[in-house]
Structure 1
Amino acid sequence: MLSLLAIAGILVAVFVGFNIGGSSTGVAFGPAVGSRLVRKTTAAGLFTAFGFVGAWTVGRNVIDTMSSSIVPAAQFTPVASVGVLFFTGLSLLVSNLYGVPASTSMTAVGAIVGLGLATGTLNEALMFTILSAWIVAPLVGFGSGALIGRYVYPYLDRRVAFTQFDAPLFQLDRSGRLPRLTVNGNASATDIVGSAMVLVIACYMAFSAGASNAANAVAPLVGQQGPLTVDQGVLLAVFAFGLGGFTIARRTLETVGDDITELPILASLIVSIIGGTIITVLSVLGIPASLAVSTTCCIIGLGWGRASRAVTVSELATPTPDTQPELDVSTGALVASRTEGVPTSPTVGDLARGEAPAEQSAADVPEIPDIGEEGPAELDRRSLFDPTAVTRIVSMWVLTPTLSVVGSYPLFLVVL
């Protein structure tokens, strides 16, 4: 028989997974739903399926780390498990209240660190490795985004187009005796290839989210004293993801997620590939890390690289008062071109709202300026950066796991 504390722990785990599924479905499938490639219900089903694959495979490595490696599995008593899950859920609340993509993974690890410090069982060597990964992963995301934004993105932006369909790309034809799958008659071969790319990347993001987030929901409940086995924990986490995906995700799919709403769809796909790859690699290594942090840093890097095309590498390395650019970035660095009349791909938010930039002929498209030359997209410096927003985001990344450690440590000293 399960104790009341074990039941409480399972309910809290479902709450955590429910919120993760609700938010992550919107981020992963926002472009696909906004482009009307799939319906919201289909998006929720695909997210649940690929999230399950990620959680069942590489996600086990992260569960193992968080359930038995940071502190011994024996430390996860029913009281300790509920306490860790409480602080994990609290991070979701803080994130929603302040509108900042705070890391559930980092906060969950912070609560486990508080448990380890209170009981004197913290694996300090492993924590050093995890902290190092938390520093390196955002830098890799920023660096990758900066290189692509500076050297590749302008050319992709001219050549890659995405279509918004009036009806879903794939439909069921029920006119015959048996229903059969048909393709939207308005879709060209290019549309189908582009749509397939959007869907594949969305499923990849779902895989990464499942791999990294299953441990956040159930790791404290899996172990020697936990009420669940690893298999049961994965199934519970995915069930909670799906519950959130089929319910509250419908709203996040309408707003398409704060992190990517104003990104051009091309930029959102680049960010998804880089962020998902970083988290998948770390999950294979068993290191819990934040998908939100990695993707946000990639967004900043992509915009920085886009804005930095106005100067050469030597000018960046040896700035002078006359040549030093204001390389301040946000998503404005990626969409500023539309304010100057330069065609660009629609943003994810445009697609969700049924809007798109005005079409222009090839003759109206200006040449891409060489690096070091001013171009229309680089003229509006002031729109590229919000120092207050960046400071708030970075502060929350540091503050939420710190508060988790500071809050959980005295709690576990008292109750354990």
Structure 2
Amino acid sequence: MLSPLVFVGLLVAVFVGFNIGGSSTGVAFGPAVGSRIVRKATAGTLFMLFAFLGAWTVGRNVIATMSEGIVPAAQFTPAAGVGVLFFTGLSLLISNIYGVPASTSMTAVGAIVGLGLATGTLNETLMFTIVSAWIVAPLIGLGTGAVIGRYLYPQLEARLSFTRLEDQLLQVDWSGLVPRPRLNQDAKPRDILGSILVLAIACYMGFSAGASNAANAVAPLVGNDAVSVDQGVLLAVAAISLGGFTIARRTLATVGDDITDLPILAALIVSTVGATIITVLSYYGIPASLAVSTTCCIIGLGWGRASRAATLTQLATPSERDDSGMGINTGALAAASTEDEKPAGPTVGELASGPEQASEQPDDVSQSVPAIGEEDTEVLSAESLFDPAAVSRIVALWIITPSLSVVGSYLLFALFL
């Protein structure tokens, strides 16, 4: 028979997984649903399958790290498990209140660190490795985004087509005795290629989300033997999937979390880079933040796109900058190479908001790509991408949220448990 504390721990774990699924499904499959490649129910099903695949394979390594690596498994009493999960859920609340993609993984690790400090059992060597990864991973995302934005993004933009189809890409032909699946007859080859890329990357994001987030929901329960690793994976994926089939339907319609204003090509790039970083870290058992890595990639991609207005020599020569305050935006990503040209594709937010909001895709998207240093400096303005105050707020919350988790957890376990 389950003890009351273990039962409460299971409920909190389900709550955490439920919220993770609600937010992650929208981020991963928002472009696919908005483009009418798949329906919301299909998106939830695919997310469930690939999240399970990620959690069942490389996700086990993260569960092992968080359940017995940072502190010994014996420290996860039922009360300690509930305390750690409480601070994990609290991070989701803070993230929603301030609208900043705070890291559930970093906050969950912070709660475990507080437990380790209070009991004197913290694995300092492993924590040094984890914190080092937390510093390096966003820098990799930033640098990769900058390189792609400066050297590859315009070529990809000119060659790939992303549109919002009038009907679903995959249809069923009922004309014969046996129903047969078929592609939308109105879809052009470029549309099909773009749709395949959108769907493949969405599934990859689901895999990465399962690999990194399953541990956040169940690691304390695995540590105190309330559930086995296999049971923990099944419980986490079930809770994440429940969120994917319920509250994610709203996020699939609104597509928030820093990708709404991105052109769909940019959203796919940052999703691929972020998911790859987190999948590699998960393979080595390091819990890390998908939100932080993708946000840094967005900033790097935007800067790289804007920097095409100048050569490397010109960038190395500081010029007088306009002191007018401008917020972080993705204008340089969405901008066409001239003022008269239409954007090469709609944004993720336009796709999600419906056909009346989505911009039309030109029939001929084969554009000549201006050389670096020849693009319109008024259109590609590096200053329009960064507001130091806004960046400072985001970075500060990335640091403050897990720090508060460490302090709160330490006080809880040192004074009361």
Q: If the length of structure 2 is used for normalisation, what is the TM-score?
A: 0.94
1:381 CA displacement: 5.2
C-alpha distance in 2 between matches for 1:346 and 1:288: 34
Q: What residue is the counterpart of 2:352 in the other structure?
A: 352
CA 1:167–1:398 in 2, change beyond 3 Å: closer, same or farther?
same
Q: Kindly report which structure 2 residues correspond to 1:216-235, keeping only aligned pairs within 5 A, or say none.
A: 216-223=216-223, 225-235=224-234
Deviates more, 1:284-293 or 1:381-390: 381-390
Aligned-residue offset at 1:190: 2.4
Task: Provide the residue aligned with 2:84 in structure 1.
Answer: 84
The residue aligned with 2:42 is 42
Q: Which moved more, 1:117-126 or 1:159-168?
A: 159-168
The code of the aligned residue for 1:391 comes to S
Partner of 1:138: 138
Distance change (3 Å), C-alpha of 1:89 and 1:338: farther
Q: CA deviation at 1:188?
A: 2.2
Partners of 2:203 and 2:195 in 1: CA distance: 12
For residue 400 of structure 2, what is the aligned residue in structure 1? 399
Matches of 1:231 and 1:361 in 2, distance apart? 50
SS in 2 for 1:102: coil
Long gaps (5+) in structure 1: none
Structure 1 position 312 matched with structure 2 position 314: no
Aligned-partner residue type, residue 387 of structure 2: D
- Provide the residue aligned with 1:383 in structure 2: 384
Contact 2:104 2:289 in 1 (8 A): yes
Is the 8 Å Cα contact of residues 337 and 375 (structure 2) preserved in structure 1? no
Q: Which residue of 1 aligns with 2:413?
A: 412
Q: 1:133 to 1:88 in 2, by over 3 A?
A: same
Shift of residue 394, structure 1, vs aligned partner = 1.0
Q: Which amino acid aligns with 1:264?
A: P
Aligned to 1:172, the other structure's residue is in SS state strand
Following TM superposition, by how much is the alpha carbon of 1:370 offset from its aligned partner in structure 2, in angstroms?
A: 2.1
- Distance in 2 (CA, whole Å) between partners of 1:235 and 1:359 is 42
Distance 1:293 1:58 in 2: 20
> Is the Cα–Cα contact under 8 Å of residues 369 and 375 in structure 1 kept in the other structure?
no
Work out the CA distance in 2 between the residues paired with 1:32 and 1:339. Answer: 29
Alignment partner, residue 7 of structure 2: 7
Alpha carbons of 1:268 and 1:359: their partners in 2 closer, same or farther (altered >3 Å)?
Answer: closer
Say if 1:58 and 1:141 are closer, same or farther in 2 by CA, change over 3 A: same
* Per-residue deviation, 1:314: 2.6
Given that 2:84 and 2:111 are in contact with CA atoms closer than 8 Å, whether structure 1 keeps it comes out as: yes
Aligned counterparts of 2:269 and 2:194: Cα–Cα separation in 1: 13
For residues 23 and 395 of structure 1, what CA distance do their matches in structure 2 show? 22
Asked if 2 retains the 8 angstrom alpha-carbon contact of 1:342 and 1:376, the reply is no
User: Superposed, which structure 2 residues align to 1:15-164 within 5 Å?
Assistant: 15-164=15-164
**Aligned equivalents of 1:349 and 1:280: distance in 2?**
26
Name the stretch that deviates more: 373-382 or 118-127: 373-382
Percentage identity across paired residues of the two chains: 69
Instruction: Name the CA shift for 1:35/1:339 in 2 (closer, same or farther; >3 Å).
Output: farther
**Counterpart residue type for residue 389 of structure 2:** T
RMSD: 2.3
What are the Cα deviations for residues 127-169 of structure 1, in whole angstroms up to 9, with x where unaligned?
0000000000000000000000001111211221112111111
Q: Secondary structure at the match of 1:337?
A: coil
Give the residue type in structure 2 aligned to 1:32. A
2: distance between equivalents of 1:196 and 1:364? 20
Q: CA deviation at 1:318?
A: 4.0
In 2: Cα distance, 1:88 partner to 1:322 partner: 42
Aligned ranges for residues 190-229 of structure 1 at < 5 Å? 190-223=190-223, 225-229=224-228
Task: Give the 3-state SS of the residue equivalent to 1:262 in structure 2.
Answer: coil
TM-score, structure 1 normalization: 0.94
| Residues in 1 aligned to 2:341 and 2:384: alpha-carbon distance in whole angstroms | 16
Q: Secondary structure at the match of 1:182?
A: strand
Alpha-carbon separation, structure 2, partners of 1:65 and 1:198: 32
Per-residue deviation at 1:195? Answer: 1.0
Is residue 242 of structure 2 the alignment partner of residue 243 of structure 1? yes
Q: 5+ residue gaps in structure 2?
A: none
| Kept after mapping to 2: 8 A contact 1:20/1:213 | yes
Aligned to 1:370: 371
Distance between the aligned counterparts of 1:8 and 1:166, measured in 2?
A: 47
Aligned-partner Cα distance in 2 for 1:25–1:377: 36
Per-residue CA deviations over 1:258-317 (Å, capped at 9, x if unaligned) read 311110000111111100100000000000000000000000000000111122223333
Contact 2:306 2:380 in 1 (8 A): no
| Displacement after TM superposition at 1:373 (Å) | 3.0
SS in structure 2 opposite 1:187?
A: coil
Moved more, 383-392 or 123-132: 383-392
Whether contact under 8 Å (2:208, 2:279) holds in the other structure is yes
Tell me how far 1:392 sits from its aligned partner.
1.8
**Number of residue pairs the alignment of both structures matches:** 413
Is the alpha carbon distance of 1:363 and 1:412 closer, same or farther for their aligned partners in structure 2, counting shifts above 3 Å?
Answer: closer
SS at match of 2:335: helix
Q: Residue type matched to 2:189 in 1?
A: A
Query: Residue 364 and residue 71 in structure 1: after superposition, are their counterparts in 2 closer, same or farther (change >3 A)?
Result: closer
Alpha carbons 1:337, 1:377 under 8 Å: kept: no
